[in-house]
């Protein structure tokens, strides 16, 4: 019959095995130790960068170089350019003012002009969704004017009211 529990080891053997294990650096320990050592060497040579830009450092002030004196910092200048803002223009049509007053509060004109062409029924559903679901404050009369305008500029109806 085999013994399920091995015989206890001699205490001198256990301590010798423990000492040898502590001195070895291989396998997973080596995989972790080498990158950490490389990072430590890097920071020892190059130091730690605060991550601040020169402008941020200049705005913070500088430490005293001698008792009671502060190092002079030269001013940093930057150049700016101005680009023209080209606001898309909504095409003229019946109900344009209602759209400009009610819709452009939340939407850019480009969002309106970039929409695909829809039927009058689809535009009606969209406008009612804006009021009912999203809470747009648009009167019933203005809703009709908005639907007329959207159908006029982006409608699929062939009755002559759309483009």
- Residue ranges and CATH numbers for the domains of the chain are 96-154 (1.10.760.10)
Q: What is the pLDDT of residue 146?
A: 96
CA distance 112 to 127: 12
Q: State whether residue 53 is helix, strand or coil.
A: coil
Round the average pLDDT of the chain to a whole number and report it: 77
List, in order, residues 6 or more apart from 13 with CB less than 8 Å away. none
Given a cut of 90, whether residue 127 has pLDDT beyond it is yes
CA atoms lying within 13 Å on the CB side of residue 142: 14
Kindly state the average pLDDT of the residues 59-77.
62
**pLDDT attached to residue 163:** 45
The predicted-structure confidence for 18-51, as pLDDT tens digits, reads as follows 555 555 556 777 788 888 888 888 877 776 665 5
pTM: 0.46
Beta strands of 6-81 (E only): which ranges?
A: 64-66, 69-70
Q: What is the mean pLDDT of residues 103-114?
A: 90
Minimum mean pLDDT among 55-69, 100-114, 140-154: which range?
Answer: 55-69
Q: How far is CA 122 from CA 114, 150, 152, in A?
A: 16, 10, 13
């Amino acid at each position: 019959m085999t013994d399920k529990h091995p015989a206890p080891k001699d205490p001198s053997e256990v301590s010798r095995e423990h000492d040898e294990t502590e001195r070895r650096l291989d396998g997973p320990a080596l995989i972790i130790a080498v990158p950490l050592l490389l990072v430590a060497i890097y920071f020892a040579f190059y130091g730690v960068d605060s991550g601040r830009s020169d402008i941020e450092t200049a705005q913070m002030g500088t430490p005293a170089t001698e008792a009671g004196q502060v190092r002079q910092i030269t001013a940093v200048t930057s150049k700016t350019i101005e680009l023209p803002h080209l606001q898309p223009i909504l095409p003229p049509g019946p109900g344009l003012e209602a759209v400009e007053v009610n819709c452009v509060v939340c939407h850019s004109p480009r969002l309106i002009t970039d929409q695909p062409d829809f039927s009058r029924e689809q535009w009606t559903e969209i406008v009612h969704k804006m009021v009912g679901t999203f809470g747009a404050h648009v009167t019933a009369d203005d809703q009709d004017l908005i639907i007329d305008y959207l159908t006029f500029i982006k409608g699929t109806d062939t009755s002559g009211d759309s483009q």
